[in-house]
Amino acid sequence: MIRKKPFWYRLSNVKNRFLFGSYGKDVYIESGVVINRPRFVHVGNHVRIKRNTSINLHPRDKKSKEILLFLGDHVIISEGCFISACNRLVIEENVGVSPNVMIIDNSRVLGNVGLPSKEQDLKIGSVHIGADSWIAYGACILPNVTIGKHCIIGALSVVNKDIPPYSLAVGSPAKVVKRYDFDRGEWVKVSESEISLRGMDKEKGKAH
Amino acid sequence: MTFGHYGRNIYIFPGVHIIRPRFISIGDNVTIGKGTDIYVHPTHSGLKNYMIRISNNVHIGSYNIIGARESIILEDNVLIGPHVMIGDHSHRYENIEIPIKLQESTEGGPVRIERDSWIGANVFILPNVTIGRHSVVGANSVVNRDIPPYSVAVGAPARVIKQYDFGLKQWVKLDE
């Protein structure tokens, strides 16, 4: 029951090198991972995808050679994740994705009342997750979202807007709770930092 | 593979991953659902006490994740739904030079789920939490504070919405 890299994972890597769009060194994809159309995926070096993850790719032009899903170096995707890419979904290097996270870049337009939702047009966006970030358990990242560098997304939160770099966001919809203050060199709560900034402005006004 | 303590009449479904089972004690009549991951990260390998203690008549649903660095205790007759994550440690993020993935985990604190309680589906239980006796945690909630005994808690972060009143002998809704 102890999980180790099985001896045949090197062989499966040789096989995967032909299937994927581009494939790095020392990649470990565990059993039970389902990837349809792997030739639209770029996998960097030292990537690990844990079991029961499903990655769906739905290219508009099935003969094109552009890459829809980009996984950078040292990315880890844990158990039971769901990733769906139609246009462009980038996960930069050193990103950790916790179990049961959902990352999608496409959803349905619910404009026409006469049609069932599954027959309506797809709304296609793009998702970008910055380097060094951490996405905690069960979060959901919706289309047209950019998450900056070194961000933390809290557990079971729903991200529907852009998150600035160096910040901690929680809740559904996700709101920024903490941010790294480069002047002070520490993490500060967002309301506090805003107050302090206003105070600084006032002091500056007095000085002038 | 040897468990620290292994009771009678246990059923562990296929597809359960357990890392370092010698730090785990399991009581009688326990069921662990499929796809569950149980991780133990002891501070040093010579540790003698059990880090995860699962008592009698506990049912753990499918696709759960239980990660222990300090101690996790599930008391008698606890029912845990599917896709629940129980962790007693989390990641540090303060140093902006190092990726969060590579920073060492926090010290955390023990998690304890007392007798007869019920945890719903997709719940996330943070470190340093005690869930009181005979209480219910609703689906999709994030528990970051202690929950008193005989209460119903829902939401992210979880708030107590109902409690058992021993004078009236019924469950009473709590207003804000």
Tell me the shortest Cα–Cα distance from A60 to chain B, in angstroms.
33
Phi/psi at B101 (5° precision): -60, -35
The order of strands in the sheet holding B65-68 is B17-18, B37-40, B65-68, B85-87, B124-125, B142-143
The per-residue pLDDT for B46 is 76
Residue numbers of the domain that contains B56: 5-173
Question: What's the mean pLDDT in A3-9?
Answer: 75
Phi/psi at A115 (5° precision): -100, 150
Q: Is B63 on the interface with A (CB under 8 A)?
A: yes
Tell me the shortest Cα–Cα distance from B172 to chain A, in angstroms.
28
**A36 in Cβ contact with A62 (< 8 Å):** no
Please tell me which residue of chain A has the smallest CA distance to B22: A2
pLDDT in tens, A129-188: 999 999 999 999 999 999 999 999 999 999 999 999 999 999 988 999 999 988 988 899
Q: How far apart are CA A179 and CA A164, in angstroms?
A: 9
pLDDT level of residue A60 (50, 70, 90 thresholds): confident
Beta strands in A46-85 (DSSP E): 48-49, 54-57, 69-71, 76-77, 82-85
DSSP letter at B124 equals E
Catalytic residues of B: 91
Contact B140 A156 (CB under 8 A): yes
Give the residue from A59, A63, A53, A65 showing the smallest Cα distance to A97: A53
pLDDT > 60? residue A3: no
Give the global pTM.
Answer: 0.85
Helices (H) and strands (E) in chain A, counts: 2, 23
For B35, the closest of A52, A133, A137 (CB atoms) is A52
Q: HSE of A43 in the Cβ direction (CA atoms, 13 Å)?
A: 24
Longest dimension (CA), chain B: 57
Chain A residues whose beta carbon lies within 8 Å of the beta carbon of residue B37: 79, 99
For CA atoms A101, A107, A112, A114, give the dihedral sign. Answer: negative
Residue B116, domain CATH: 2.160.10.10
Cα→Cα distances A87→A71, A104, A123, A158, Å: 14, 10, 10, 21
CATH no. of A9-180: 2.160.10.10
Amino acid found at B127? P
Q: Is B159 on the interface with A (CB under 8 A)?
A: no
- Total domains, chain B: 1
Q: How far apart are CA B70 and CA A206, in angstroms?
A: 53
Chain B residues whose beta carbon lies within 8 Å of the beta carbon of residue A172: 156
pLDDT > 60? residue A201: no
Chain B residues whose beta carbon lies within 8 Å of the beta carbon of residue A131: 99
Tell me the shortest Cα–Cα distance from A6 to chain B, in angstroms.
15
Q: Is B18 on the interface with A (CB under 8 A)?
A: yes
ipTM: 0.84
Burial class (CB in 10 A: 0-12, 13-18, 19+), A74: buried
Give the residue from A200, A74, A95 showing the smallest Cα distance to A139: A95
Phi/psi at B61 (5° precision): -75, -170
Give every CB contact of residue A200 below 8 A, 6+ residues apart in sequence. none
Give the residue from B154, B159, B125 showing the smallest Cα distance to B138: B154
| Domain locations in chain A as residue ranges | 9-180
Longest dimension (CA), chain A: 71
pLDDT level of residue A120 (50, 70, 90 thresholds): confident
Chain A residues whose beta carbon lies within 8 Å of the beta carbon of residue B94: 186-187
pLDDT > 70? residue A195: no
Please tell me which residue of chain A has the smallest CA distance to B94: A187
Q: Is B35 on the interface with A (CB under 8 A)?
A: yes
Chain A residues 94-123 with CB within 8 Å of chain B = 94-96, 99-100
Give every CB contact of residue B174 below 8 A, 6+ residues apart in sequence. B160, B161, B162, B163
The CA-based angle B163-B164-B166, given to 5 degrees, is: 140
Q: How far apart are CA A36 and CA A170, in angstroms?
A: 31
Task: Using the CB atoms, write b or e for B56-90: b if 16+ within 10 Å.
Answer: bbbbbbbbbbbbbbbbbbbbebbbbbbbbbbbbbb
Amino acid found at B93? Y
Contact B93 A168 (CB under 8 A): yes
pLDDT in tens, B113-161: 999 999 999 999 999 999 999 999 999 999 999 999 999 999 988 999 9
**B130 in Cβ contact with B114 (< 8 Å):** yes
